[in-house]
Structure 1
Amino acid sequence: MSQPQYKTIVDHIKNQIDVGTLTVQDKLPSERQLSDQFDASRITAREALLQLEKEGIIYRLNRRGWFVSPTRLTYDPTSPATFNEIIKQQQRTGTTTPLSTELSEAPSEVAQVMGLSEGSPVYLIRRLRCVDERPILLEHIYVDANLCPGLLKHDFSQSLTGIFKEHYQKGVTRTDVTMYPTSLDAEDASSLHVSPGSPCLEIRRCRFTEENQVLEYDLEFWRHDAVELKLSFEHQ
């Protein structure tokens, strides 16, 4: 019994990657090119590409096409290591791009998490983080403005942890982490170059000072196909 036509396209692309004809970050043929090559409909070609995306083998960038995925970034969300340290340990290249910064009033949910009154002054910093030139993580970071006056004058392409330590003499002694799968709204999806509604892993990180004050509340949106979580612990 012959296999579905989309599976023939899937197997062909997988084989090209296996033999090295296609390598990491190479651009794949378009849906139209694949449909012509395999005498298939564009719907069938799209089904094949979506299956490869689901398996984490390829990824797409809006208005740019489909590309061969790099190896997933291995990430332990409970580790105190910074993003840049994690990237360096895995011999990858990372960049951080600030998207927007503002002084605003804490929304009710954010205020509750940070132990502030609703409307208290907070800094909101949005950053895009890339690994090997691929956007994989979008951050929405809330910082208590009373703890870090003048924060917005700093360069947020650099480590925020380093800024806290160097300029405000504040370190983090405890971090609470919550994780769950969700989907991206239109604005966040655009920043990560995916379609609205695309799946992602949301990690909410609340970081405390030694005085037990919430210094930073970080909402992280990770591309689901770019990261793998790995946690280790000792048994008592």
Structure 2
Amino acid sequence: MTRRRPARLAALTLTAAAALTLSACGGDDNSSDDKDKIAGADTGSDTSTSPSPSASSTEAGGRPKIELPSDMKLTFEDAETGDAVKDAVLADNAQRMRALNAAIAGTDPKGTALGFYNTGKAMEASVSWVAQFEKVDATVTGEVRYFNRKVTLKDEASAGLTFCADESKGFSKDRKTGKVAKTPVTKNSYVLYNTRLEKNADGVWQTSQIISTRGAAQCQP
């Protein structure tokens, strides 16, 4: 599956926001409390227009650089399985999660990395989620740990990936005041993700579908 080019994040925001309404990182829950958690979830499938990386912001191999603020830490467990293809899926999924948070934090204002690692409805949902933070002038801070990451290869160019997120130390922050909206740790601090990834013509495993379940039993400590 090839990446389509070359729309920018701002140009996609209105379309994606109109098409999808995301209330929280969990994507499928309507609690306003979840806006106090670091973003990471949305839902999606199919194909869509994505931003393309510029030469000035790429690493070796043409992949976009992703920088996160110093007050944000993302940890990814189970990064190596011993299978090169599965490891590549896990690596690109980790970059996808970093890209989403970089777009929210403003360290990737054009959404270059977001478009590189997402496609289809997953891209639209990601843009919509970023737009919600922009609307309330908020960013993200703290720590999120991703664990129980399991890959199922479907064929040479598609894979399923499930994983959990511990968002108990991740919160939203007001950009103007710097105030962190801390919330108590509950079962909803833990999120189950069920995703589909497609390998595009450039060899990148892009997320095309992502569904999350906040408070899932299999992700509880």
What is the TM-score normalised by the length of structure 1? 0.27
**RCO comparison, higher one (Cα < 8 Å, 6+):** 2
What is the TM-score normalised by the length of structure 2? 0.28
The structure carrying a bigger strand percent of its residues is 1
